[in-house]
Structure 1
Amino acid sequence: MLILLPPSEGKTPPLTGDPVDLGALTNPGLTRHRRAVLTALRRASARRDALTTLGVGASLADEVARNTRLDVEPAGRAADVYSGVLYAAAHLSSLEDEAADRARTSVVTVSALWGAVGPDDRIPAYRLSMGTDLPPIGPLAQSWRPHLESALAPRALGDVVVDCRSAPYVAAWRPARGTDWVTVRVLRELDGRRSVVSHNAKHTRGLLVRYLLTRAGEPPRSSEDVHKAAHELVGTTLLDATHTTSTSGGSVLELVVG
């Protein structure tokens, strides 16, 4: 099982610790491009037009300023730094024993800055989204695509990919056609009608991730296994869980909440 997560917009800056060591992060084949993006981000964040370039408002000026110091800022476990809605529901930082081991081997956060990191990788808090056109790198999703293909395609081969990412991060790497790839969608049912939800979707995906990592028995090895595991939540967390083939490749797991 390979679980793909987006980074959270909300991040908790570590208060102490050594700075990030790019060479110590998982997927060392990404180190060279990580360094190039990090350098470009530091320079762009120091410019007068930094907020415009990064597509953020004035309220995030302090976070953009932190980008200029990422080589000296304290780094902490990605499971602690990413602290948004999905991660709060998944509680990756509290996993223990077999569940923690499963997370180390299964969970990958696809990042605009780091490419792909695991829960134990030590990173600083930063502000950068995959939809950014970062000079001189260019559109980040496009720039990361060949590097993530090299890093993630071998890992996905022969396994099931559980994809909880948002569209900009899917654009950075899509599993090859034929991969057992499950995209997780969340729907709300109200008065018998179902509609797509956004904010609550992150929470529900986080609950699914937590369950896949902590449930007893072997981890899922196929999309059918993922659907069976999700269906175990029907009646508690979920109203329904359905699994259908996608026309764009792979399949879709729809989680229905009330």
Structure 2
Amino acid sequence: MQMLILLPPSETKRAGGSGAPLDVSALALPGLAPQRAATLDALIALSADDELAARVLKLGPTQRDQVAVNRELRTAPTMPAVDRYTGVLFDALDAASLDPTSRRWLGRHVLVHSAPLGPVGALDAIPAYRLGAGARLPGLPALTTVWADAVSTAIAGAEPSFVLDLRSEAYVALGPVAGTVPSVYVRVVSGGADGAVRALNHFNKHAKGALVRRLASDRPRIGSARGFLRWAASAGLEARAGARGEIELFA
């Protein structure tokens, strides 16, 4: 049993890769194979129609090339998920610059929650794709219906000692952590001069990426929310218990 960290994906991704095409059977949480196959099939089928795909995926004129990317999901080259995603969170994590031991730690402890594949391991090899949590693929029910129960069951089946949930609310809806699993949801906040605590947007993502980088570097053994708070204090991070089931991380 070990701690799991759940990360959201990013809309922006690196193109290309040097890995072999997607092998669904090699991904973390293998029990999600049926949902992965159904979602991939629906997304590839949708992408046979450029105009329809652009509408469903809400692509602008300069983003139409993403339809072709989706058509090649099963044959395109891959790279580790933690290297595939870009954007504020993943730039702050900067996994490529971590030493091999820290990267292996990410592979054991971090899942990135993608819309077409569900949660995948940080080092799982995935292709580029375009699909957000709110899309509705023809031939499938809403993605929350496809994924929520299956992901909750798969995470519980992994028997983590503790789950640190850093996902956005849209991705939490695609797989809530079961109530039987010890977990905490992290909100990034700032304290104003008036003493009020406010949620952050842009710095929310940066703080989460920096947090995971620090965890991968320190590699602490954390088995509870209290243990996370103790580690955070020792690491010079400001965090405290928030609403029930939540931790507030100050940025």
Task: Pick the aligned partner of 1:85 from 59, 83, 88.
Answer: 88
Deviation at residue 161 of structure 1 after TM alignment: 0.6
1:79-120 alpha-carbon deviations (Å, 9 max, x no partner) = 211122111112233333442332121101111111121122
SS at match of 2:25: helix
Q: Tell me which of 97, 106, 130 is aligned to 2:133.
A: 130
Question: What amino acid is aligned across from residue 45 of structure 1 in structure 2?
Answer: S
Task: Give the Cα–Cα distance (whole angstroms) in 1 for the partners of residues 216 and 79 of structure 2.
Answer: 22
CA separation of 1:93 and 1:155: change in aligned 2, threshold 3 A? farther
Q: Which residue of 2 aligns with 1:162?
A: 164
Q: Which residue of 1 aligns with 2:229?
A: 227
Match of 2:154 in 1: 151
Superposed displacement of residue 178, structure 1: 4.3
Q: Which amino acid aligns with 1:42?
A: I
For residues 140-192 of structure 1, the C-alpha deviation after alignment (integer angstroms, 9 at most, x for no partner) is: 122112321332112245x1110000011101111222432111111123433
> 2: distance between equivalents of 1:177 and 1:33?
22
Asked if 2 retains the 8 angstrom alpha-carbon contact of 1:67 and 1:127, the reply is yes
1:254 paired with 2:248, answer yes
C-alpha separation in 2, matches of 1:123 and 1:43: 19
- Once the two structures are superposed, the pairs formed by residues 86-235 of structure 1 within 5 Å of their partners are 86-157=89-160, 159-192=161-194, 193-215=196-218, 218-234=220-236
Name the SS for the 1:134 alignment partner.
coil
**Matched residues, number:** 247
Runs of 4+ in structure 1 over 4 Å off: none
Identity, % of aligned positions: 36
Any conservation in 2 of the 1:112–1:141 contact (CA below 8 Å)? Answer: no
State the Cα RMSD in Å.
1.9
Q: Which stretches in structure 2 are left out of the alignment for 5+ residues?
A: none
- Quick one: which amino acid aligns to residue 219 of structure 1? R
State the AA in 1 paired with 2:229: H
Alpha-carbon distance in 1 for matches of 2:92, 2:8? 14
Would the aligned equivalents of 1:241 and 1:254 in 2 still touch at CA under 8 Å?
A: yes
Instruction: Give the Cα separation in 2 of the matches to 1:94 and 1:229.
Output: 23
Instruction: Answer whether contact 1:86 1:202 (CA < 8 A) is retained.
Output: yes
Which of residues 55, 64, 74 is equivalent to 1:52?
55
Deviating more after overlay: 172-181 vs 111-120 = 172-181
CA distance in 1, matches of 2:110, 2:222: 13
- 1:70 corresponds in structure 2 to 73
Report what 1:25 is aligned to: 27
Paired with 2:181 and 2:26, the residues of 1 have a C-alpha distance of: 29
Q: Say yes or no: does 1:243 pair with 2:241.
A: yes
Task: Find the aligned partners of 2:153 and 2:168 in 1 and give their Cα distance.
Answer: 21
Any conservation in 1 of the 2:10–2:86 contact (CA below 8 Å)?
Answer: yes
TM-score (normalised: structure 1): 0.88
* 1:43 corresponds to 2:41: no
Counterpart amino acid of 1:91?
A: D
Q: What amino acid maps onto 1:32 in structure 2?
A: P
Compute the TM-score of the two structures, normalised by the length of structure 2.
Answer: 0.90
The whole-number CA distance in structure 2 between the counterparts of 1:26 and 1:2 is 12
Equivalent in the alignment of 1:3 = 5
What residue identity is the alignment partner of 1:241? Answer: A
